[in-house]
A and B are shown apart, each in its own frame.
Chain A
Amino acid sequence: MGLVESGKLPKPLTSLLNTARKYSLWAYQWGLACCAIEMGAAFASPRYDVMRLGVIPLPASPRQADVVVISGTVTDKMVPAIKRLYEQMADPKYVISMGSCTNCGGPYWDSYSVTKGVDQVVPVDVYIPGCPPRPEALLEGIVLLQQRIGREDMAERWRGDPLVVQ
């Protein structure tokens, strides 16, 4: 990837690479609560058929995944596992936060154990509101992420510095 690291990438090449990347998203499923049912409907059922968007929802490990869909109630006890999951993923990596609980705590906004938003832990690219969101909402979130990937300047994103989770 000498071209990318040089900081200058020809625009047609950027466009080509981005198109290739956005239509071969390997999505890791991080289902924590009831949103996982909707995620399962979107990812595993022929009715919604996420593979037509180029998403492969069954990577064998986070190391193969391009995007992780965190869906459900994130608890403080789960946070170390999510951090580790994110660190295990190879760059470029994206995070979709699905559902009110993951976005902000949702109905557990006053709980002693629920993390009020997974974005306190890992950077989130797309938030999907809803309690739970319908599968179509997740599909729209994926499309939004694909648009975002399509606009990305790869050289801008990879300056060789790894993303560090605080």
Chain B
Amino acid sequence: MADAGTDTAAGTAGDEAADAPEVDEARQGVLATLADALGDALLDSHIAPGHALWVRVDRDAWVATAEAAKFRLGCTFFDYLSAIDWMPSPWGRYEDAEVGVGPTPFDHDAAFETGVAGGDTRFQIMCRLANVRRHTEPHLNVVVKADLPDDDLRVASLVPLYAGANWHERECWEMFGITFDGHPGLRHLYLPGAFEGHPLRKDFPLLARLVKPWPGIVDVEPMPGEPESGDGAGAGDDATAGEEAPE
């Protein structure tokens, strides 16, 4: 991966990012190495040329992927580990939500959006590994994702490979309720010891929101260039539109 030819190609790709290079030979080489190491366990991948590489792997190959990245790609730097809850917010848009509206149950059959490299489950775990010895641009790094089935939120720990994964996995455990097998000590990191629930899950209820709708809506002014309406009902609509416009 560190041979001169690949480096040159990668550097050129980075320089011409404005011209939208469609081929990123360096990252395709990384992907080929991972595919060679993992075989069928590599489910999906996505390359943003000159920018990043995502791979989605089978949960059982989670550690094997990290091993391949560490020992075959030289990704000795553990950047971060976290999880994503792809569930659409069951509370609706808080700005419009009425007081006391409970969550709508998650429909497992309905389509929901997942990010690059796809996904089939509500929870995805992800980590980013980087090779920091390579001083050429772009930095060689890979984002690894894995799907976790709802009824079995557990995955093997990366702590034996990367000591730095320890606190990331503790945070992920308390915030999402994902168990890491083989972790040396899954204890609360940020939350008080007696905390119940997993606050970064989409269906975690924020009690303050249940008893009071979002009060900031009254402060929202129309965006510049939008007409200000005179009547009260129209003002409410404008406020909503103004809220959406920055997205």
Contacts and interface: CB of A to CB of B under 8 A. Distances in A.
Interface string A58-76: 0000000000000000001
B192 A110 contact: no
A113 B191 CA distance: 7
Interface in B145-197: 190-192, 195, 197
Interface stretch (B28-36, B45-53, B203-211): B203-211
Contact of A110 (B190, B195, B209): B209
A111 B205 CA distance: 10
Nearest to B205: A112
B199 interface: yes
A128 to B, nearest CB: 21
Interface in A86-138: 109-113, 116
- For the side of the interface on B, what is the size category? 10 to 19
Given A76-B192, A77-B190, A77-B191, A113 B209 contact: no
Nearest to A114: B208
What is the predominant secondary structure among interface residues of chain A facing chain B?
loop
Interface residues of A, number: 8
Nearest to B192: A77
Contacts, number: 20
A113 to B, nearest CB: 7
Contact of B204 (A76, A112, A116): A112
A110 B191 contact: no
Contacts of B208: 109-111, 116
Nearest to B200: A112
A110 B204 CA distance: 12
B204 A113 contact: no
Nearest to B94: A110
Interface string B84-111: 0000000000000000000000000000
Given A77-B190, A77-B191, A113 B199 contact: yes
Interface of A: 76-77, 109-113, 116
20 contacts: A76-B192, A76-B195, A77-B190, A77-B191, A77-B192, A109-B208, A110-B206, A110-B208, A110-B209, A110-B214, A111-B206, A111-B208, A112-B197, A112-B199, A112-B204, A112-B206, A113-B190, A113-B191, A113-B199, A116-B208
Given A110-B206, A113-B191, 13 more contacts: A76-B192, A77-B190, A77-B191, A77-B192, A110-B208, A110-B214, A111-B206, A111-B208, A112-B197, A112-B199, A112-B204, A113-B190, A116-B208
